[in-house]
Chain A
Amino acid sequence: MRYKFNLIFAWLILLLIVPKGFAQTNSSQNKTQVSIDEKSSIQYDTILIRKGWYIPDHIKVQYAGLIGFMSVGAGYEVTDRYEPTLYYGLLTQNFGGSSVTVHTISLKNSWKLFRPGLLGDITPKAGFSVNLGFTNNTFHRLPAHYPNNYYFQNRIHVAPFFGGEWKIDLPGDGFFNAVGLYTEMSTLDNYVLEFIRTKYVTIDKIWNLSFGVSLYIN
């Protein structure tokens, strides 16, 4: 059972990495074309600058949402619809009131639900995050002193979410070309399981709210 799930996680991560790799090779191919374009564009008094792959497409700062009190993330727009973002979130005594410090790494896979621009500057989004928690008594593989299958792994959690973003274009030609305010409702695999398993846990008991700001890099 555990290994089966691990296999699924491995596949998920693979699925995320592969299109990203393709995206990078595409952009490097574009680069060579751009240099040709640049020549012609100089004639029209414009200079085209492609940013390197190491500069993300967007930076996000988020409050709450299962990955810490505050979290920061960076990500790419792999396709028009799909944008993965890698977050680091922190929860401590002073930031969030937890007597134990929790570090979380989260890969948020977000899809725009409609064609970009269809609903103006509001973009509904949904997807799921894969969260890795680093704190006490979380393990990916069960420590050796337990019998087999005594517990299920509890370091990785999958958190589905839905939400929306209000994107505002920034004037000028600065480093950031747009800023977005977003809010999301998310839940956790364990909570969904209890929602399915029990009558007590109703749909309104499993969701939580988060807010965030996206900065889009030119």
Chain B
Amino acid sequence: MNLNSYAMWFFKKKVHLFAGLIFLMVGCNEIIEYSPYKAGVRSPDEDLNIKAINRISEYSEDEFRPFKLGLVGDSHTYYDYYEKQIRQMNKHDDIDFVVHLGDITLSGIYREFIWFRDITAKLKHPMITIIGNHDYLSNGEYMYQEMFGPLNFSMVYNDCLLVFFDNVIWEKNVEDPDFEWLESVLKDGEDYRYRFVFSHIPPWSDQFNIGNEYYFNMLMDKYNVDLSIHGHTHNYRYKQPYETGPPYLVVSSSQKGEIFFLHVDEDGFYPGREDY
């Protein structure tokens, strides 16, 4: 039996095709993909932010208690670096939960969300993920809402108000951020011990025009926000850029090889930075 006739015999037996198919269906995850633009997830992967908030609120207390948050951002498709960040976060048992500051994908397409979910599943702590400008591309905006929940949301943790705000502008066809919503949440937050606002784009960055930049900081100042936390620019920064208003913290992107913390104590708060 020469090679040619063996190949013919092999292809004439159709059984191997079905065996191969079954092997592939079992072996590969997410083997059926309708479209890279699909905005929908299967059962355990929907509303991950809402699930995380439920998990966090189980150990949240009414009275203030010091806590520590982990911060990462702009993981894009730096998957190897992002995996290292997750591994590093897992070494810290004292973290209450982790916040991802947006840009979890590069092109907002289906499998990038799936890969992000797969890596994040290895994290021991709950994670809250906000949306970044890249996550708006294609149908990422709708995929994000299927996978994580609403774009703007807030929670109270240990008597501190945490606001998660979507401030992407250009990808919404130059639509201003929903400042009315932000104001309505901050208005009711005067009595909490601290107020922290998490949003993807720092107001001095490219997508904000002068008016939006001023308005964003004005809201922070007016409602005594203690710290505004961002991603987007891929470089660490901790400063008070405006004459009035809170300090701003910008966390770096995944490939910079560092993770960040926010220590919140009785007498104040300070950011932490750890490279590995």
Q: Let me know if B174 and A183 touch, CB within 8 A.
A: no
Bound complex: CA A151 to CA B105 (Å)? 13
Q: Let me know if B138 and A135 touch, CB within 8 A.
A: yes
Q: Let me know if B28 and A207 touch, CB within 8 A.
A: yes
Please name 17 further chain A to chain B contacts, defined as beta carbons within 8 Å, in addition to the given A93-B40, A98-B37, sorted by A numbering: A65-B33, A98-B35, A98-B39, A119-B11, A119-B12, A133-B36, A133-B138, A136-B139, A137-B136, A194-B115, A200-B115, A204-B27, A208-B28, A208-B31, A208-B32, A208-B33, A209-B24
Return the CB mask of A177-199 against B: 1 if under 8 Å, else 0: 00000010100101100100111
Does residue B89 face the partner (Cβ distance < 8 Å to A)?
Answer: no
Contact of A100 among B25, B139, B173 (CB under 8 A): B139
Q: Which residues of B contact A (CB under 8 A)?
A: 7-8, 11-12, 14, 17, 21, 24-25, 27-40, 77-80, 83, 106-109, 111-112, 115, 119, 136-142, 145-146, 170-171, 173-174, 206
Can you list 7 A-B pairs, Cβ within 8 angstroms, ordered by A?
A: A133-B138, A136-B141, A157-B36, A166-B14, A190-B106, A198-B79, A210-B32
Q: Let me know if A200 and B119 touch, CB within 8 A.
A: yes
Does residue A32 face the partner (Cβ distance < 8 Å to B)?
Answer: no
Bound complex: CA A98 to CA B21 (Å)? 25
- Tell me the total A-B contact number using a CB cutoff of 8 A: 149
Q: Let me know if A100 and B39 touch, CB within 8 A.
A: yes
Q: Let me know if A96 and B17 touch, CB within 8 A.
A: no
Classify the interface of chain A: helix, strand, loop or mixed: loop
Does residue A4 face the partner (Cβ distance < 8 Å to B)?
Answer: no
Contact of B35 among A93, A99, A133 (CB under 8 A): A133
Q: Let me know if A122 and B14 touch, CB within 8 A.
A: yes
Q: Let me know if B40 and A204 touch, CB within 8 A.
A: no
Chain B residue numbers with a CB within 8 Å of A206 are 111
Contact of B37 among A133, A147, A152, A185 (CB under 8 A): A133
Q: Let me know if B24 and A185 touch, CB within 8 A.
A: yes
Return the CB mask of A65-91 against B: 1 if under 8 Å, else 0: 111110000000000000000000101
Chain A residue numbers with a CB within 8 Å of B8 are 118-120
A137-B137 contact given A91-B34, A119-B7, A122-B11, CB 8 Å threshold:
yes
